[in-house]
């Protein structure tokens, strides 16, 4: 379940993994020229404030959750090329995201953001299944860590470009959002040209388990450890603070739009470092243990956000939080691939992505409501406590997984 390879970091990653990572780079460069600026629109010309921002982030993930499961189930059906789903998802997102510049108010902005996330739902599970099937267990965490590292590097690049433009070119926020279409075109083009599903030719993905039409049947087919892991992920979703609220916190402390983009870039930079290191560590040590370190660090970082009162303190906490958040990004996905059987990884990643979206609306409204009627510090304090509780639950699950693994080997 969690084997250790003697030197997995010395092996080259498959070409498909590298191509998918660069797709993520260009897509997140486009996305993060936009998303960090949206909170400023919600507290400015679009209206709605923190509550509408929480609703937007929650609605976006929840609306896409059903699409994620459907796409994951479809990705496991024989004879269907998964790169078509991946390309369609990136195409949809990069068509609607620049239109946020034309929304005018918070209600259509929520609709457009939801459509953007539908595109994410369409591509996420098939992409993760492609990546998991392209690697063996000994290097899977490194592969996902590399993909997440380039994803966050793209986010940093997009934020830096937006910050430089804001400081030097005197363009409006809406104009920068429109220009985000350029890296979006690059992302969809790379998918179209460079991503191919070789599963049918290799004929290995459907030999063990047929995929039924009923999504609940797919749930029943997953191992019990996967069920418990997904349950803990569902609870942890209530502790995941949308990073747009970090921008909102900086806005409250008096940061300008260009400085906020630099703050976002620093967050993406440390997440990129953490993603790379997390993937390497998780292929050498127990993945559950490295993920516990990530979640515990995130919990401590959230408590840090609750106590920070100055701009320099916010910079420091943001960098530390990004490092720990990045540390676990690839490991969460690699563990899902480990726990699933061959031939059902698309379904497994569909449930993984759907689980992350199920709690999004109540969690987003809960967080936005606490911010509106309480304070930002209270929001971060509650989420930090929840993160630490879930870290303990994950550790207990890791002990169960270790016992079952030893029983299987004996």
Whether the CB-CB separation of 105 and 46 falls below 8 Å is answered with yes
| pLDDT of res. 1 | 44
The rounded Cα 163 to chain-centroid distance in angstroms is 23
375: three-class secondary structure by DSSP: coil
Whether the CB-CB separation of 99 and 181 falls below 8 Å is answered with no
Cα–Cα distance for residue pair 363/382, rounded to 1 Å: 12
- Helices 106-133, 82-96: axis angle to 10 degrees equals 160
Helices first, then strands: H and E counts in the chain: 18, 0
Residue spans per domain, the chain: 12-409
Q: Which residues are CB-neighbours of 254 under 8 A, at least 6 positions away?
A: 311
Exposure string for 44-60, b = 16+ CB within 10 A, e = fewer: eebebbbbbbbbbbbbb
Number of other residues whose CB lies within 10 A of the CB of residue 63: 21
Q: What is the pTM of this model?
A: 0.69
Longest dimension (CA), the chain: 67
> Tens place of pLDDT for every residue, the chain, 410 residues?
444 444 545 578 888 889 999 999 999 999 888 878 877 777 666 776 667 776 776 677 677 777 777 777 777 765 557 888 889 899 999 998 888 888 877 788 888 888 888 888 888 878 888 888 888 777 877 888 888 889 888 888 988 888 888 888 778 888 888 998 999 999 999 988 888 776 544 444 444 444 444 545 467 777 788 889 988 988 888 887 777 778 878 887 888 878 888 888 888 889 888 887 877 777 776 788 889 999 999 999 999 988 887 888 899 999 999 999 988 887 888 888 778 776 677 777 778 877 777 777 677 777 777 777 877 788 889 889 999 999 999 999 888 877 665 555 55
CATH architecture of 12-409: Up-down Bundle (1.20)
């Amino acid at each position: 379940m969690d084997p250790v390879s003697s030197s997995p970091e010395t092996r080259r990653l498959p070409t498909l993994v590298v191509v998918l990572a660069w797709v993520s780079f260009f897509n997140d460069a486009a996305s993060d020229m936009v998303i960090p600026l949206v909170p400023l629109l919600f507290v400015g010309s679009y209206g709605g404030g923190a509550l509408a921002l929480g609703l937007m982030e929650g609605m976006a993930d929840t609306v896409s959750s059903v699409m994620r499961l459907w796409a994951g189930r479809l990705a496991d059906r024989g004879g269907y090329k998964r790169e078509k789903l991946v390309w369609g998802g990136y195409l949809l997102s990069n068509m609607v995201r620049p239109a946020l510049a034309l929304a005018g108010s918070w209600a259509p902005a929520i609709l457009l953001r939801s459509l953007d996330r539908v595109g994410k739902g369409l591509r996420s599970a098939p992409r993760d299944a492609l990546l998991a099937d392209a690697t063996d267990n000994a290097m899977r965490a490194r592969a996902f860590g590399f993909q997440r590292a380039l994803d966050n590097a793209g986010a940093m690049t997009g934020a830096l470009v937006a910050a430089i433009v804001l400081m030097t070119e005197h363009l409006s926020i809406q104009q920068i959002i429109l220009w985000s279409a350029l890296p979006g075109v690059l992302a969809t083009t790379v998918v179209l040209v460079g991503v191919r599903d070789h599963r049918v030719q290799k004929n290995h993905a459907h030999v063990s388990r047929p995929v039924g039409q009923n999504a609940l049947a797919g749930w029943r087919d997953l191992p019990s450890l996967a069920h418990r892991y997904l349950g803990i992920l569902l609870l942890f979703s209530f502790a995941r603070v949308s990073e747009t609220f970090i921008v909102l916190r900086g806005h409250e402390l008096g940061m300008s739009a260009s400085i906020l983009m630099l703050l976002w870039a620093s967050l993406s930079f440390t997440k990129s470092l953490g993603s790379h290191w997390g993937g390497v560590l998780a292929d050498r040590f127990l993945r559950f243990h490295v993920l516990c370190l990530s979640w515990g660090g995130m919990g401590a970082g959230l408590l840090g956000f609750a106590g920070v009162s100055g701009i320099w303190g916010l910079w420091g906490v943001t960098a530390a939080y990004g490092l720990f958040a990045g540390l676990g990004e690839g490991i969460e996905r690699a563990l899902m691939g480990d726990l699933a059987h061959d031939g059902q990884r698309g379904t497994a990643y569909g449930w993984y992505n759907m689980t992350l979206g199920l709690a999004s609306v109540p969690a987003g409204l809960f967080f936005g409501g606490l911010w509106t009627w309480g304070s930002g510090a209270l929001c971060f304090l509650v989420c930090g406590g929840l993160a630490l509780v879930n870290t303990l639950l994950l550790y207990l699950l890791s002990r169960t997984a270790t016992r079952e693994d030893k029983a299987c080997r004996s």
